[in-house]
Chain A
């Protein structure tokens, strides 16, 4: 079956499964809101400070959101060994992975859509005039989070202590991507409100490199 169609079918299944229970999305958003509150104690949230430290805080919150959300994507397939059923179906191996990446991206973007306005309000950071570019950065960065998150979720699903292992695997690996995302966001929030070309290219490059690596290694991820 062709790649696009099978990916879409599987993507629809992922979304349907997630929205049927909906606990995860709610819990993640609440968790991130708590983080946002706590960080207001770490520094004095004046507009100037918020523009400097806010992006770091935001991306930490997104990182935690991503780790929480991708964790069940493969764990869920272990309940009735449904991954075996998917592997036996005549669909490309990467289809299964790509569908989960897309679904996780969707959920993460939904969480971000809630968190960013909340951040803007609580930390007095105006988003006027930069929304489109901010969305662009959010998508690129979230893509990086989700690509690594989904692959590592596939890996850690077979391990003990998987909920703890996943962020431990993810954070060192994602350091460069987080640096890039934070830098880009800082430059967006700054007075000049410009999009730093170097970092944006870096982000895009990161996404492409690891998406390709995932594609090449997708067969091995499902093996058992």
Chain B
């Protein structure tokens, strides 16, 4: 426990430093000025999301190959955290977009594919929610999870191809020239946010494990309440079979 508190405090310190640096230390960007600072949060959140979803993909495969329950819990936890990061990314993107482009949303390649990605993983979570039997839930959502992850590069490629065939209403600009301080602040924020994501992931994973335990205990209690009196035992039958 003590080490956990220490690590949490350290990561908290990192994120506060990162936030402070992003707001006050990093220099003003030439074209977008203050609004650009959202970039120190927005881009790292995508990295965190990619990390979370890659962990989810690996966990799905892990479950199908080894059948160890913790892989399934990890798949659930990391997908949920991934969706959370994706939501954060989409919202901060919109917050950036409004002052810069004057509109909340545009159907350009990156935004469209991110939104599809969000929908894909939300449907994964919905699937898990609607499957009752734990074994089936683990196996079937793992299969869907694998399909979903394989679809990601395909979605990105197709939407890019689609959108480049038509003139863009707005250009999606990234940072133009990266000055040294900006880069440093950026990496600090990147590490801090990914660390926060991992912290949340671990907590969510443990929550999933606890949820499983609670369900098991509930089933155990219910089966004990329902159990009828034991049947009459024959005389002198040697007990065979291991317990």
Contact = CB atoms under 8 A, between A and B. Distances in A.
Interface of A: 148, 151-152, 154-156, 158-162, 165, 168-169, 171-173, 175-177, 179-180, 183, 198-199, 202, 206, 209-210, 213, 217, 220-221, 223-224
26 contacts: A148-B147, A155-B140, A155-B141, A158-B133, A159-B127, A159-B131, A159-B140, A160-B131, A160-B132, A162-B130, A165-B130, A169-B126, A173-B120, A173-B123, A175-B155, A175-B158, A176-B158, A198-B161, A199-B161, A202-B157, A210-B147, A220-B140, A220-B142, A221-B143, A223-B135, A223-B139
B130 A161 contact: yes
Interface of B: 64, 116-117, 119-120, 123, 126-127, 130-133, 135-136, 139-144, 146-148, 150-151, 154-155, 157-159, 161-162, 165
A29 B99 CA distance: 47
A176 B158 CA distance: 5
Contact of A169 (B64, B127, B133, B154): B127
Given A152-B144, A156-B127, 4 more contacts: A155-B144, A160-B131, A171-B119, A175-B159
A175 B131 CA distance: 24
B213 to A, nearest CB: 23
Contact of A220 (B64, B130, B155): B64
Contact of A159 (B64, B130, B135, B161): B130
Nearest to B150: A213
Closest 5 CB pairs of A and B: A176-B158, A172-B119, A159-B130, A172-B120, A155-B140
A202 B127 contact: no
Nearest to B155: A176
Contacts of B133: 158, 224
B146 A224 contact: no
A209 B150 contact: yes
Centre residue among B131, B141, B158 by max chain A CB count within 10 A: B158
Nearest to A205: B154
Contacts of A217: 64, 143, 146
Contact of B162 (A155, A168, A183, A213): A183
Contacts of B142: 220
Contact of A173 (B64, B130, B151): B151
A175 B146 contact: no
Given A175-B155, A176-B159, A168 B123 contact: yes
A172 B127 contact: no
A210 B147 CA distance: 8
A49 B205 CA distance: 52
A176 B139 contact: no
A220 B119 CA distance: 24
Contacts of B144: 152, 155, 169
B157 A176 contact: yes
A224 B147 CA distance: 20
Given A168-B123, A169-B144, A209-B154, A160 B130 contact: yes
Contact of A179 (B123, B136, B162): B162
Nearest to A171: B119
Given A151-B147, A198-B161, A169 B123 contact: yes
B81 to A, nearest CB: 19
Contact of B140 (A160, A172, A206, A221): A221
Contacts of B135: 223-224
Contacts of B132: 160
B123 to A, nearest CB: 5
Contacts of A224: 133, 135-136
Contacts of A173: 120, 123, 147-148, 151
A213 B161 contact: no
A155 B143 contact: yes
B150 A220 contact: no
Contacts of B154: 176, 206, 209
B94 to A, nearest CB: 19
A217 B150 CA distance: 13
Contacts of A221: 140, 143
Contact of B116 (A148, A165, A175): A175
B136 A158 contact: yes
B158 A172 contact: no
Contacts of A220: 64, 139-140, 142-143
A158 B144 CA distance: 13
